Structure 1
Amino acid sequence: MGLNALDLGVIVAYLVGVTLFGLSFGRKQQTLKNYFLAGNTIPWWAISLSIVAAETSTLTVISVPGMAYDKNFTFLQLVLGYLIGRTVVTFIFIPQYFRGEMVTAYQLMERRFGHTLRTLTAGMFLLTRAAAEGVRVFAVAIVVRIALGAWLTGLDDFQRDFCAIAIVTVLTLIYTFEGGMAAVIWTDVVQLTIYVAGTVVGFFTILHLVPGGWDTVHAVAGQAGKFRVFDLSWNLNTTYTLWSGVLGGAFLTTASHGTDQLIVQRLLSARNARQSQIALLSSGIVILFQFSLFLLVGTMLFVFYRVFPSTVAFTRTDTIFPTFVVTRMPHGVSGLLISAILAASMSNLSAALNSLSSTTIVDFYARLRPHSSEKHRVQVSRIAVVGWAALLFGLALLARNGGKVLEMGLSIASVAYGALLGVFLLGVLTRTTTERGAMIGMVGGFALNLYLWLCTGISFTWYVLMGSVTTFAIGYGASRVMPRNENISQAEELR
C-alpha cells in the first residue's frame, strides 16, 4: 500500500513540532550546570521516562519485534538482569555521585584515583559511545528507506541512507544545541509517549487484522514456541539464556547506568539523590513493560505473516516491523507509527550528543582552560555538540554494512563497559587500590573483551561480566604487589 500524502504530513508535523518544542528550552542555558544538568530542576518521573527513552533507540523499536518474529521471548531474560543492575546502581553508585558537585561520571574517578584515570575512563567513554551510537543512528535509515521509498525514487541505497540520517541528525542537533539537557529530557518524555502509544496502536491493529484475534495469535504462536521466556542452557555462545540474561544483564546495566555518562547525566540532573534513586528504580518497571510490548508485537507479526504470507522477502528481521507499518497499516496511522520510530531515534541521538559534549568539555576542555568563563564554556559546549553530530553522522554511514543493528550496538558498548565497570567498582568498593593498579586492571579487562568480541563466538551478554571481574582482579592484585606511592586519603573520604 505504501505511505501517502497524509502519512507524510503526519511525519513532517511531528519532526517540526518536536524540534520547536525542544528549542523553547534554550533561553536560560548560561552555565554548564544549567546546560548539562538542567539546573537540577527536573522531577523524578520525567528523569525516569527520559532514562527509558535514552536507552531505547530506533534499533530497539525495530530489532526487538524482529527477534520475537525470528525466535521467541528469551530476550526478556536480559531485561530481568536490567532490573538487578538498576538496584545495584541505586544503592552503590548514586550516593557517591551526589557527594559534591559533579557534572560527569568520570569526576568520581579523579576524586578517588587522580587525573590520569579520569582522562582514561572519559576517553574510553567517548570512543566507544561514539562507535555504538553510530550504529544506532544508522537504524533510522532502515526505516526511512522503507517508509519514504516512493519519494526517493532515482536515488541509490547510499543516497537514501544519507538523506535519512541527515534529516534526523540535523533536526535533533538544532534543539540539543540550543536547549541543553532540559530540552533533551522534556523532548524525551514527549517522544517516549509517542513511540509507546504508536506501538500500542500497532498492537491493536495487528490484532484486528488477524482472523480470530488473540485466540489465533495465542494458538499459532504458542504452537511455534514463541512465548518461551527461559533458556536454562549454559552455552556461552547462546546469546539469551537465563544465566547470561540475569548475570550478564545485571553487569551490563550496572555499567551502562552507573558508568556511562549517557545515563549518569540524567541521574545527576535530579533535585537530590533520593529523587535520582526513585527515577532509576521506576524506569525498570517501564522498561519491562516496553520490551514485553515490542516482543509481543513481533510475535503477532509472526502469526500475521503465517495467515497472510508476505510477497516481500525479508533479508533481515530489522525490516519486518517497518515494512508492516508501511504496507498494511491504515493511512495516517502509518505516519504516526513511522513518527514513533523516528521519535526513538531522535531521543537517543539527543542524549548521546549531550553526554558526549559534557564529557568533552568538563573532563577535557575545562581542565585545559581552567580560567575560562562559564559563558565561554557553554559556547564551546554548543560547538562540541555540532562536532559530535558530524562525527556520528559519518559513523552511521560506515555502519551500513553491519549485521543485526541491536546486537551490534550492544556488542560495541559491552567491550568497553567491562573495563569501565571494573575500575569504578575498584574505586567505590576498595580502599587500597592505587591509580596505577586500576589502570593496569582496566587495560587487562579491555584487552580480554576485545579478544572475546573479535576472536571467539562467546555472546556479548557475557562481555561486561568477564571484563569487569578481570579488571577488578588484576587492578586489586597489581595494587597489592606493586610498590605504593599514592596517598589514599581520598579513598577514606569516599567511605
Structure 2
Amino acid sequence: MSTLDWLVMTGTLAGIVLYGVYMTRKVDNVKSYLLGDRDLKWWTIGLSVMATQASAVTFLSTPGQAYNDGLGFAQFYFGLPIAMVILCIFVLPIYYRLKVYTAYEYLEGRFDLRVRTLTALLFLVQRGLAAGITIYAPAIVLSTILGWSLSLTIAIIGVVVIFYTVLGGTKAVSVTQKQQMIVILLGMFAAGVVVVLKLPQNLSFGDAMDVAGHLGKLQVVDLEFDLNDRYNIWSALLGGTFLFLSYFGTDQSQVQRYLSGKSLTESRLGLLFNGIFKVPMQFLVLLVGVLVFVFFLFTAPPVHFNSANLDKLRASPYGTELAELEARNKEINGRNTTATLEMVEALRSDNEARISAARSQIEATLAKRDEVAQSVDDLIATYDPELITEDRDYVFITFIINYLPVGLVGLLLAVIFSAAMSSTSSELNALATTSVVDIYRRSLVTDRDDRHYLAASKWLTVGWGVIALCFAAVANLFDNLIQAVNIIGSLFYGVILGIFVVAFFFKRVGGRAVFKAALIGQAFVTATFVASWMEYINLAFLWLNLIGCVLTVLFALALEGSDDATDVTIPENDLL
C-alpha cells in the first residue's frame, strides 16, 4: 500500500477518533457515559442507527455475496421498513413514557426480575458473539495487506476499539457515527464509479447492467416458497421482519441509539429515516459487488481470492500445479472476455439468437473457471486441511488492493475500519450498559456510589471486548461473515421478541408463564438450528426468528395460570 493510502486511511480514522474524544472529554458520570444526554436530532439518530448496523462485515462480505449470487440478498432487508413503522407506532411511545434506559427495564415492571434478567442474558450472549465477528472482519483486511498473522491483527484491532470505547462511552459512539456514515457512503459510491471506469472503454454502465441481468445477477425478488432458501421474498417479509423487529426494538445496541433522541418525534423520524434509506444503501453495496463480477468477466480473477492461502501454496510442493491452474484460468478468461463482448454487441442489436448463444458461451467458460477454482481449493485442503477455502469475503478486498487508484485504496480501507469502529463500539457500549443497569447494579451490587458504577462500566466494556476477541479467534469457521452475524442473531432474537410481544399485547400473561415459555422456546429454536446444521431438516435460518417468537407467545398463553401481570413500574434504585 502506498504512502498516500496510509496517510488517507490513518488521517481519516484519527480525525474521527480524536473528534469523538474531544467532544466527550467532560463525561465524568455513569449516566452520561452509558446513556448520553438525550439531545440528538433525528438525522443524527438515523445515521447512528444505520452506522451501528452497517458493520465492516457489510462492506467486506456483502459485495462477495453479490459477486456469487447477485442482488437476491437485498430481499433480506425488505421487512425493514415494515418493522420501523411497527416500532414507531407501538414500541417507542412505551419506552419514552416509562423513561427507560434499556429495553429490559420495562420487562421487570411488566413481569418480574427473572424475566428481565433472562432477556438481558440472551441479549448479552448473542451480541457478545456478534461483536467478535465485527472485530474479525476488518482483521482480514489488515492481515492481507500487511502480511501479519490473523491472530495478531485481531488482537491489535480489538485493543484499539476497546480503548476508543472505554474512553468515550455512548456519547463518543453517537457523535462520531455521522462522520463515519458520510465516509462510508462516499467511499462505496466512489468504488462503484471506479469499477465502471475500469471496464473496457467501449462498455457503458448500461451495457454492464445488461450483461449482469442476462447472467442472472440482477434478479432481486424470488417468489418461490422454499423453507430451505435463505433469501426469498417469503423468508424476508416474514422471518426478516421479525428479525428486524427484535433487533431494532429489543437489542440494546440499537435501542440505546434512538433513546438518546431529544424527543419521541425525533426518535421516530430517525427510525423512519433508517427504514427508508437502509434498503437503497444495501442495494448500492450489492451493486458494487455485481459490477466487480462484470469487471472480472474482462479481467482474469485470481484462482482463489485469499492471497495468503495462495502464497502458502506457491511455497509448497504444489506450487507447480498452482501455476498450471493459474495459466489455465487466464486462458479461460480470454475466451470469457470474447464471449462477453459478443453478448454486448448482441444486446445492442437486440438479437435474441446471438444473445442466447453468447450467454451459453459465458456460462460454459464460467463453469470452467469454477472448476479451476475448485481444483485450487482442493490443493489448499490437501496441503493444509486447517486452511479455510471459502473465499467470497475476500472478493472486494482483492479488488480494492489490486485495482483501485492510489489514495482511493486508503479511503476504502477507512470505510471498512470506520464501519468496524462504529458497530463494535456500539456493541461493546450496549453490552456494558446492559451488564451494569440490568444485572450488576440491579441484582449484584446495589448500593455503591456513581464513581464505582462508572469504573465498573469501563471494566465491563474491557471484559466484553476480551470475550469478543476470543470469539473472533474462531470466526473463520463460518463460510460467510454476513450470514454468520444474521445466524447468531436469529438464534436468539425470535425468543427475545416473543417476550416483548407478550409484554405489549397480552396483558393477562404473567412473569412465571413467560419465563418458562422463553426457556422452552429457546431450547426448541436451538434444537431446530442444530438439526438443520446437521442436515436432518432443511430450514433457512431466517425462519428461526418467526418460530422463536410465535412459540414463545403460544407457550406463554398456554402456561398462563393464576399469576397475573403486574403494573408497569421501574424499581427506583434501578434508574441511573
Q: TM-score, normalised by structure 1?
A: 0.93
Specify which of 100, 109, 112 is matched with residue 110 of structure 2: 112
- Give the superposition deviation at 1:101: 2.9
Q: Does 1:319 align with 2:394?
A: yes
Residues 59-458 of structure 1 mapped to structure 2, 5 A cutoff:
59-149=57-147, 152=148, 160-211=149-200, 212-314=203-305, 315-367=390-442, 368-456=444-532, 457-458=538-539
Q: Does 1:474 align with 2:564?
A: no
Mapped to 1, the partners of 2:505 and 2:564 lie a distance apart of 17
Greater C-alpha radius of gyration: 2
Corresponding residue SS for 1:488: coil
Contact 1:32 1:374 in 2 (8 A): yes
Mapped to 2, the partners of 1:98 and 1:489 lie a distance apart of 17
Mapped to 2, the partners of 1:14 and 1:32 lie a distance apart of 29
- Give the superposition deviation at 1:57: 0.9
- Give the superposition deviation at 1:312: 4.2
1:295-347 Cα deviation digits (max 9, x unpaired): 11011001000011113423421110111000001111111111111111111
1:157 corresponding residue in structure 2: none
2:375 corresponding residue in structure 1: none
Contact 2:139 2:157 in 1 (8 A): no
2:47 corresponding residue in structure 1: 49
Query: Identity rate of aligned residues, in percent?
Result: 33
Mapped to 2, the partners of 1:485 and 1:291 lie a distance apart of 46
- Give the superposition deviation at 1:215: 2.8
Mapped to 1, the partners of 2:193 and 2:422 lie a distance apart of 25
Corresponding residue SS for 1:298: helix
Contact 2:499 2:552 in 1 (8 A): yes
Mapped to 1, the partners of 2:554 and 2:124 lie a distance apart of 25
Of 112-121 and 284-293, the range deviating more from structure 2 = 284-293
Mapped to 2, the partners of 1:167 and 1:397 lie a distance apart of 12
Of 29-38 and 467-476, the range deviating more from structure 2 = 29-38
Corresponding residue SS for 2:26: coil
Q: What one-letter code is carried by the residue in structure 2 that aligns with 1:126?
A: L
Of 445-454 and 354-363, the range deviating more from structure 2 = 445-454
1:392-428 Cα deviation digits (max 9, x unpaired): 1111112122211110111011110011000100001
Contact 1:80 1:246 in 2 (8 A): yes
Mapped to 2, the partners of 1:250 and 1:124 lie a distance apart of 20
- Give the superposition deviation at 1:486: 4.2
1:173-219 Cα deviation digits (max 9, x unpaired): 22321221111012111111111111111000001011213033112
Of 67-76 and 9-18, the range deviating more from structure 2 = 9-18
Contact 1:146 1:323 in 2 (8 A): no
Of 250-259 and 266-275, the range deviating more from structure 2 = 266-275
Q: What one-letter code is carried by the residue in structure 2 that aligns with 1:467?
A: G
- Give the superposition deviation at 1:166: 2.6
Mapped to 2, the partners of 1:448 and 1:485 lie a distance apart of 24
Contact 1:147 1:322 in 2 (8 A): no
Mapped to 1, the partners of 2:303 and 2:150 lie a distance apart of 20
Contact 1:257 1:263 in 2 (8 A): yes
Contact 1:50 1:185 in 2 (8 A): yes
1:156 corresponding residue in structure 2: none
Corresponding residue SS for 1:425: helix
Specify which of 534, 544, 561 is matched with residue 463 of structure 1: 544
- Give the superposition deviation at 1:139: 1.1
Of 13-22 and 255-264, the range deviating more from structure 2 = 13-22
Q: TM-score, normalised by structure 2?
A: 0.80
- Count how many residue pairs are aligned between Structure 1 and Structure 2: 477
* Root mean square deviation of aligned Cα: 1.5
Mapped to 1, the partners of 2:258 and 2:522 lie a distance apart of 26
Unaligned 5+ runs, structure 2: 306-389, 533-537, 570-576
- Give the superposition deviation at 1:79: 1.1
Contact 1:20 1:175 in 2 (8 A): no
Unaligned 5+ runs, structure 1: 153-159
Mapped to 1, the partners of 2:35 and 2:478 lie a distance apart of 34
Mapped to 2, the partners of 1:332 and 1:267 lie a distance apart of 35
Of 5-14 and 375-384, the range deviating more from structure 2 = 5-14
